[in-house]
Amino acid sequence: MTRYHHPALKQFTDQQVRFAPRDLRLQQIDRAEVLLNELEADREYPYTEICSRITTRKTEMYPDLRIPGRDVIHDLRLFVEEMSDSADISAESYGDQVMTVEEISKHYNVSTKTVDRWRNRGLVSRRFKFGKRKRIGFLRSSVENFVRTHVEDVRRGSSFSQLKADEREKIISSARRMAQRGMCPAQIGKELSRQTGRSPETIRYTLKHFDEQHPDLAIFPRASRPLTEEQRELLFADYQRKVPIERLATRFGRTRASIYRILAEIRAEKLLASPIDFMDSPDFHKANAEAEILGEAPHVEGKQTKQRVPPGLPPYLASLYNIPLLTREEEAYYFRKMNYLKFRASELLKGLDPRGGKPKLMDQIEDLINQSVDVKNLLIRCNLRLVVSIAKKHIKPTTNF
């Protein structure tokens, strides 16, 4: 018997597993998880909208079908597991961003059965290759998102509620003394975890809960309030200047994990706030598009590489003559390449979680955008030289540029 609640979503999953190239499957997995975070159990969703959000293409199948949100949520979790299973994803390729059931259990002081219950409540899992074996794993970002949106579930399942009053008071008093000595939240959490045998997450929650309940006596008064827009901009500017994360954590009164999360949110916000305009083409959607479009530029026999610099040009215009003019074939090649790079970036952008994307995905998007800008600048420089050449033919010799 199928585990899927709706046969149309089972059919959709089977089709993608069988026919979608691996790279597309990886993108679809990310888009499905983004969609999962937006769904509401009590609503209904058009089948065509679900498919287009995941594949970025319209489907003509079942145009009038609407599926209960509860079933969509259940079946898309299975979709993510089956697609990741078929893609043979190595856990090592994600570095320390993949957590096992056992690691979540230890980190949050919960049983492995509790982790299974979290999966039923919405924690998205994937299948990864750990060595030669495939096992269920969780992206750290998926776990952190679940914890943020299911605080009570996590609190009930963990040892947070098992702290005795005297133990809680001792942790709070020790944390206050450490904070007064200038230690940051991450250092305090690590040290108190070592002293008490409690997990860093238990310490973090205990201190966070105290600060929320007693703002006038807060141990970390800055950490109990969200960063202002000005602080976020300063944080991002410092990060771009390569200021170490440890210094940023101390400066802004946050843990390292919190700093990474805020930076991811800011990067995602900036990428999503800048629409990528491009001219689409059927060629971009072909299976061999990348090899065909990003291959070597066309070779032109007998092309003149340099030209004599006309007299009277200022240095910045004279330097343009070191750049050979493009032939019609070359200009078409670079124009198509620029638009394809933007298309690729736009496709990846659809899978970006606005609450903070994966750094690897954002690196890919930014790299594609930067490559497209390089090609655009090449086209501008070459065409600017052409403009100068034409202008020189139509102006008086005494005219000064």
Please report, in angstroms and rounded to a whole number, the separation of the first and last CA atoms in the chain. Answer: 78
17 lies in the same domain as 133: yes
Decide: 127 and 135 in contact? Cβ < 8 Å.
Answer: yes
CA-angle at 335, arms to 333 and 340, nearest 5°: 95
Q: Is residue 145 part of a domain?
A: no
CA distance 293 to 168: 62
Per-residue pLDDT reduced to its tens digit, 180-237: 887 878 788 889 988 987 777 778 878 888 888 888 888 887 665 778 888 889 999 9
* Structure-derived torsion over alpha carbons of residues 311, 313, 319, 325, reported in degrees to the nearest 10: -80
What does the alpha-carbon distance between residue 51 and residue 67 come to, in Å, rounded to a whole number?
12
Check whether residue 60 and residue 82 sit in a common domain: yes
End residue of a domain, out of 139, 166, 186: 139
Residues 182 and 250 in one domain: yes
Does 175 lie in the same domain as 260? yes
CA distance 61 to 8: 9
Same domain for 247 and 323, yes or no, is: no
Report if residue 243 sits inside a domain: yes
pLDDT of residue 1: 35
Does residue 200 sit within a domain?
yes
User: CA-CA distance, 365 to 272, in Å (whole number)?
Assistant: 11
Residues 67 and 132 in one domain: yes
Domain-embedded: residue 327: yes
User: Is the same domain home to 323 and 266?
Assistant: no
Model confidence, pTM: 0.47
- C-alpha 330: how far from chain center: 34
Do 132 and 171 lie in one domain? The reply is no
Domain match, 247 and 310 both: no
φ, ψ of residue 186 to 5 degrees: the values are: -65, -45
Work out the average pLDDT over 60-84.
92
Q: Domain count of the chain?
A: 3
Looking at the fold, whether 222 and 291 belong to one and the same domain comes out as: no
Residue 344 and residue 364: Cα distance in Å, rounded? Answer: 10
Q: How far is CA 98 from CA 104, 129, 291, 351, in A?
A: 10, 11, 31, 18
Establish if 312 belongs to a structural domain. Answer: yes
Q: Based on the domain organization, do 108 and 37 belong to the same domain?
A: yes
In a domain, 147, yes or no: no
Ramachandran sector of residue 238 (left: φ over 0; alpha: ψ -120 to 50; beta: rest): alpha
Output the six-digit token pair for 42: 């009590």
Instruction: Return all residues near 15 (Cβ < 8 A) that are at least 6 apart.
Output: none
Q: Record the tokens describing residue 119, joined without a space.
A: 């999966």
| Residues 235 and 167 reside in one and the same domain | yes
Domain termination residue (choose one: 139, 167, 195)? 139
Long-range CB pairs of 54-58, under 8 A, 24+ apart, other chains included: 54/16, 54/28, 54/79, 55/16, 55/20, 55/24, 55/28, 56/31, 56/347, 56/350
Domain that holds residue 314: 282-394
Least confident of 7-16, 156-165, 251-260: 156-165
What is the tens place of the pLDDT at every residue in 117-174?
898 888 999 999 988 889 999 999 899 888 888 887 777 766 555 678 888 899 999 9
